[in-house]
Amino acid sequence: MSTANVTVMGIFALDLAFRSPRLPVWGETVVGSGLQVGPGGKGSNQAVAAARLGANTTFLSKIGADAFGEIALRTYQDAGVNTDFLVRAQDEATGAAAILVQEDSGENAIVVCPGAAETLTKQEIDRAEERIAASACFLTQFELPIVLVEYALALARRRGVTTILNPAPGLPCPDSLLALCDYVTPNEGEAEALTGMRVSTIEEAEAAAEQLMERGAGHAVITLGARGALVKSATISQHIEAFNAGRVVDTTGAGDAFNAGFAVALAQGKGLVAAAQFGCAVAGISVTRHGTSPSMPRREEVDALLAKH
Ligand code: RIB
C-alpha cells in the first residue's frame, strides 16, 4: 500500500446525535432514547477517515478558539491529520450539528451550523496552495460557501490535482463548478438537487450521472445507500454492490466514509470501479457503529472485509 497525500477542505462540527423513534413536527417534543456527542462535519469526517485509511491527510478549514475547537484539535491529533492549514478564529464559534437518528432503521436527519468555517477566506485557501499541489486528490463538499468551493477546486485543477466534489448537502450548482470536478459523488437526494431529475432507481441514477457528465463533470458516482453505488465514466457504467458488515445502527457519516475511501483509493492509484468498491466497504463498516468520525474504520478492517468478498 502506497502512502498518498490527500487534502480535504470542509467544516468541523460538534455532533449532538439523538436517538429518536421519529422526527418531531414543529412545536412538538419527542422523548429520545440516547445521546452521543462527538466530532463531525462532513469534511472533518472525511479527513479523519482518510487518515485512518492510511493517507497522509491535510484538513483545510477554520474552527473557533472555544471548547468545540479543542475537541476538533484532539480529534486530528488522534487520527494523525495534518492541521497546518486549519485556521483558528478568535471571534467565531466552532460549528455544531443537531442529528436525529431513527432508532430502528439508523436513518438520520441533520441541521448543521458551520460556524467559523463559513468565514474561511480565499487568502487562507491560497496559503495551502503548495500543500494542495502536492496532493494526489483534493476532496471537498458543499458545507462551505459555494464560492470558496469553486475557488479551491479551480486552484487544485490548475495545479494538476485530481478533484472530487461530494456535493453534500444537496444544492443546485452551475456547470462551471461541475467542469472543475474530475469526480462528483452525490447521494440520491443530492443528485436530485443537482439535476432536477428523480433519482430512486439504478436506471435513474445512471441518467442523472449522465447529465452531470454532460454538464462538465469528468466522472459521476451516485451513492445509493444500502444498494451501493452507480459509477459512470465515458466508457463505464456500473452498479457496485454495498457491503454487509453487520447490523446497521447509524447511517450518519456513511457518505463521508464512502468519499474518504474513494479518495484514498484513487490517490493510491486504483481505478474508478475499484475505488468505489473500496469506498463502499468503508461505508459498510461505518454504518455498523454509532457516530460519524468515531465510526470510521481503520485500513486493516477495510482490507479484511474486502478479502472476505
Ligand atoms: O455527513 C454527516 C455530517 O453532516 C455530520 O457529522 C454533521 O456534522 C453534518 O455535517
Greatest CA separation for the chain: 53
Residue 106, pLDDT score: 86
Is 35 a domain residue? no
Question: What DSSP string describes 298-309?
Answer: PHHHHHHHHHH-
User: Would you place residue 234 in the very low, low, confident or very high pLDDT band (cuts 50, 70, 90)?
Assistant: very high
Per-residue pLDDT reduced to its tens digit, 25-43: 999 999 999 999 999 999 9
Per-residue pLDDT reduced to its tens digit, 53-111: 999 999 999 999 999 999 999 999 999 999 999 999 999 999 999 999 999 988 899 99
Quick count: other Cβ atoms within 10 Å of Cβ 93?
16
Closest CA to 222 of 264, 250, 262: 262
User: Would you place residue 263 in the very low, low, confident or very high pLDDT band (cuts 50, 70, 90)?
Assistant: very high
CB of 13 within 6 A of ligand 1: the answer is yes
Quick count: other Cβ atoms within 10 Å of Cβ 193?
18
Are 234 and 197 a contacting pair, CB within 8 Å?
no
Are 130 and 146 a contacting pair, CB within 8 Å?
no
CB of 47 within 6 A of ligand 1: the answer is no
- Read off the CATH number of the domain in which 185 is found: 3.40.1190.20
Distance from the alpha carbon of residue 303 to the mean position of ligand 1, in angstroms: 25
Question: What DSSP string describes 117-162?
Answer: GGG--HHHHHHTHHHHHT-SEEEEESSS-HHHHHHHHHHHHHTT-E
Question: Distance (Å, rounded) from C-alpha 137 to C-alpha 165?
Answer: 11
- Minimal-distance CA residue to ligand 1 atom 1: 253
Are 226 and 243 a contacting pair, CB within 8 Å?
no
Average pLDDT over residues 141-163: 98
CB of 163 within 6 A of ligand 1: the answer is no
Which strand ranges, in their side-by-side order, compose the sheet holding 56-64? 86-89, 56-64, 5-9, 137-141, 162-166, 183-184, 219-223, 229-232, 237-240
Residue 1 pLDDT > 90: no
CB of 15 within 6 A of ligand 1: the answer is yes
**Which residue of 12, 36, 112 sits with most ligand 1 atoms within 8 Å of its CB, as the best mutation to test the pocket?**
112
Residue 267, pLDDT score: 98
Q: Which residues contact 29 (CB under 8 A, 6 or more apart)?
A: none
Question: Distance (Å, rounded) from C-alpha 158 to C-alpha 278?
Answer: 28
Is 193 a domain residue? yes
Per-residue pLDDT reduced to its tens digit, 156-183: 999 999 999 999 999 999 999 999 999 9
Catalytic residues, by residue number, are 256
Is 53 a domain residue? yes
Distance from the alpha carbon of residue 23 to the mean position of ligand 1, in angstroms: 17
Is 18 a domain residue? no
Residue 287 pLDDT > 60: yes
Print the domain residue range for 130.
5-10+40-94+116-308
Global pTM value? 0.97
- Minimal-distance CA residue to ligand 1 atom 8: 41
Is 15 a domain residue? no
CB of 97 within 6 A of ligand 1: the answer is yes
Residue 3, pLDDT score: 76
Per-residue pLDDT reduced to its tens digit, 113-124: 999 999 999 999
Is 28 a domain residue? no
Instruction: Please give the tally of structural domains in the chain.
Output: 1
Is 19 a domain residue? no
Q: What percent of the chain clears pLDDT 90, i.e. is strictly above it?
A: 98
Is 143 a domain residue? yes
The verdict on whether omega for the bond into residue 169 sits within 30 degrees of 0, i.e. cis, is yes
User: Which atom of ligand 1 is nearest the CA belonging to 95?
Assistant: 8
